[in-house]
Amino acid sequence: MKTIRIIITGGPGTGKSSIIRHLEKEGYTCLHEISRQVTLEAQKQGIDQLFLEKPLLFSEKLLEGRIQQYREATMLKENPVFMDRGIPDVLAYMEYYKTEYPDFFSEACEKFTYHKVFILPPWEEIYQSDNERYESYTESLRISLFLENTYKNYGYTPIEVPKAPIKERTKFIIDHI
């Protein structure tokens, strides 16, 4: 049986991780966002914000990690597998920050595909910044547009999840698989 890979994406602070945690509590298999791990690992090596200081290196590490997650999801027997962000997210952020990138980034988006993409819209009432989330709410609005456009450019039709309590948002996602 083929693994159904579902992406949950959206700008910073839109509730992705909260929904992933709720899906896990409901018994679904979920793979977590890896950008915080990449950032923390760089900080251990003395680079405060790898994405800001070396954006291409950061993006390459993210791409590697997301490809590894994709392969991990494909090996799982559980269905569906929910993933906090996908490979096209890497390109959307590079486009947003006007970072040039080699063709292998685009090739990865074409090679490693997902079954459905859910996008969480910016929601000022729940937005919070922290050590690894340095974007403002205004930036989150713009990044969200880049994410949506990038997924559309690779043939996806992102499904917008309504602003609602986590249980309702999770139910919406499950009902639309």
Residues 62-96: tens digit of each pLDDT: 899 999 999 999 999 889 999 999 999 999 999 99
Type and span of the H or E element at 38: helix 35-44
Cis peptide before 55 (omega within 30 of 0): no
Ramachandran angles phi, psi of 126, nearest 5°: -105, -5
All structural domains of the chain, each given as residue ranges with its CATH number in brackets, are 5-175 (3.40.50.300)
The pTM for the full model equals 0.90
Question: Between 136 and 134, whose confidence is greater?
Answer: 136
Q: What percent of the chain has pLDDT over 70?
A: 87
Question: What are phi and psi for residue 29, nearest 5 degrees?
Answer: -85, 130
Q: Is the pLDDT of residue 131 over 60?
A: no
CA distance 171 to 23: 9
